[in-house]
Structure 1
Amino acid sequence: MNRVYVCSCFGVTEKQVKEHADAGACTPRQIASACKAGTDCGSCVRRIQAILGRGNCPRRELVDQGMPALTAETVAELQEAA
């Protein structure tokens, strides 16, 4: 299996960052809240920004209001409850 690591400090892969983004994380800070990527040496923050891109974020209005994005765990819990 070919894993592309984004954050070597915490062993976070590109796939994990994309999964958190799909779950609603729109900023590097929200990615950091979900998996710690970018919180140690910080060298991966630009890579995380590139993965997130500059596209539309479905939760941008909530982010601008200071509301955090859903973590992957929260999304899984909501799906199980449905």
Structure 2
Amino acid sequence: MYVCSCFGVTETQVKQHAENGACTPRQIASACKAGTDCGSCVRRIQAILGRGACPTKATVVDPVLSDLEEAA
């Protein structure tokens, strides 16, 4: 399904960019231009990112912190 009609960007593509590290609508726009023309898709992109397409800080494992916790 298309998220951005202006640039033909699909929900799958947005999720793929999120998996590659784009975690905000602005980063998605930098990756594929979605949201940079009429802007009607920005809320949809936000919803996709909010549904777990992008890892949250709570789920990202910091190797330095993990080593410190193991040492304690």
CA deviation after TM superposition for structure 1 residue 54, in Å: 6.7
Alignment partner of 1:49 is 2:46 = yes
* 1:31 aligned residue: 28
Aligned match of 1:40 in 11, 25, 37? 37
Q: Give the RMSD, CA atoms, in angstroms.
A: 1.4
Number of matched residues? 55
In the alignment, the residues of structure 1 paired with residue 3 and residue 26 of structure 2 have an alpha-carbon distance, to the nearest angstrom, of 15
**Percent of pairs with identical residues:** 85
Of structures 1 and 2, the larger Rg is shown by 2
Runs of 5+ consecutive residues of structure 2 not aligned to the other structure:
61-72
Calculate the TM-score normalised by the size of structure 2.
0.72
Aligned match of 1:7 in 1, 4, 12? 4
Regions of 4+ moved over 4 Å: none
Q: Secondary structure at the match of 2:3?
A: strand
In the alignment, the residues of structure 2 paired with residue 27 and residue 42 of structure 1 have an alpha-carbon distance, to the nearest angstrom, of 14
